[in-house]
Chain A
């Protein structure tokens, strides 16, 4: 045990380096992750946006947080995809039979997901700036936004590890993320929830995306934070912890 713990960080570094190479050698994965959210943003701002009433006069500002969450929700499916390929190629077996920390393999994939999602989020924010997105927020609120997005990415990536390890096919490994990508539609990401029928509205206001979107929106517009941030953090941390424990259990059971 001691030997593998001692090398945890260097092992994880090697794993991270490996899967980052995978990302940079298949740039199409980052482009695919960016294209759909950017297309959504164009569609909603220049086609539907005129007809949507929100409290802010700049619809790009209103829309951006939800678009970012959508990008992350689709980005994390690549973690499931890469893990599945590792499992199928037998390279995970090789790593497992070596004296390296077992969770280092998973952490390498998870951190890769964080890095590649940060890249796509930055690309989307740059496009949003071109489309008229403006924020009066200072450095601290921006850091808070970054923190929430990273936490959200971590939570969903650990969710993605589970199908990555258990799926029987590539489609199964990456297909699980479709409902996650559509979750922002039934939230306050695109339109205020007030206009929704009662049942839908109840769902929209109590699902994680709404509180996260509201927190980011408030932070970016430089307004004081309400309770949303605590609800958002509770959701992210809750999902993160449950998914992490479950994923590690699946990984160990597969090893046993």
Chain B
């Protein structure tokens, strides 16, 4: 069981649209694996299949050694999903959200678990406020905290930084790195090349339902003279400029 995730010949169609046309990739235990692609490339569909939310039409997927289609309950024991939109209960406080999840994971000391998470994600001050009052960054932090309860072996992060401002984004990156340092396997999807570059041990580029390139960053860099890849590369450069300016202002 060296591989945390093995995907072979994955197919999925919605009505007449073929979204996944034979996707293959493997994720090593303890790695951060980035699935990179533009909107509509099939990233979310892939994650939903891996997280047992959607059944594939063809191909096999094993997660933590279990087949997602036939042993979904075993898969669910090992995984945690953070979807594209922060799935927190807005009527409850941050603490109540965490306690609820700890109870659903059948942990004994749910209050203590919640307190620890609040501290770890610097949400202690906001703990007893309803999450509807949280900022986007706080909500995402709580969302990830909810996913970590019960120490799942494999975590899926579907566009974890979409819609976040650059500072909140860097904060999420820090969390992801810490997780991987503790041995958690992470599969994340993103459309930002810089994010993949910053975080991932291995990167796969999903385009129009197929993996068109995969490997480590240095392996991918050898394929660079592709105009498509260059275009994506430019976007985070602007961000870097933005961050530099904002950082400078704050320094003044």
Contact = CB atoms under 8 A, between A and B. Distances in A.
Interface string B12-48: 0000000000000000000000000000000000000
A152 B96 CA distance: 32
A95 interface: yes
B200 interface: no
A93 B73 contact: no
B88 A97 contact: no
A7 B76 contact: no
Interface of A: 1, 3-4, 7, 10-11, 14, 17-18, 21-22, 25-26, 89-91, 93-100, 255-256
B91 A3 contact: no
Given A11-B104, A89-B85, A255-B53, A97 B96 contact: no
Interface string B90-119: 111000100010011110000000000000
Contacts of A18: 89, 92, 100
Nearest to A94: B87
Interface string B192-209: 000000000000000000
B87 A3 contact: no
Interface of B: 51-55, 73, 76-77, 79-81, 83-92, 96, 100, 103-106, 146
B73 A95 contact: no
Nearest to A22: B91
A21 B91 contact: yes
- Residue of B81, B84, B87 contacting most chain A CB atoms (<10 Å): B87
Nearest to B93: A21
Contacts of A96: 52-53
A94 B73 contact: no
Nearest to B92: A21
B106 A1 contact: no
A256 B55 contact: yes
8 contacts: A7-B106, A10-B103, A18-B89, A26-B91, A89-B89, A97-B76, A98-B105, A256-B55
Contact of A90 (B52, B79, B85): B85
Contact of B54 (A89, A94, A95, A256): A256
Contact of B73 (A3, A14, A90): A3
A4 B90 CA distance: 26
Nearest to B76: A99
Nearest to A90: B87
A94 B84 CA distance: 11
A21 B104 contact: no
Nearest to A11: B104
Contacts of B79: 97
B100 A97 contact: no
Nearest 3 pairs of A and B residues by beta carbon: A90-B87, A99-B76, A97-B81
Given A3-B73, A21-B91, A14 B100 contact: yes
B91 A91 contact: no
Given A11-B104, A14-B100, A94 B76 contact: no
Given A26-B91, A91-B88, A93-B53, A98 B83 contact: no
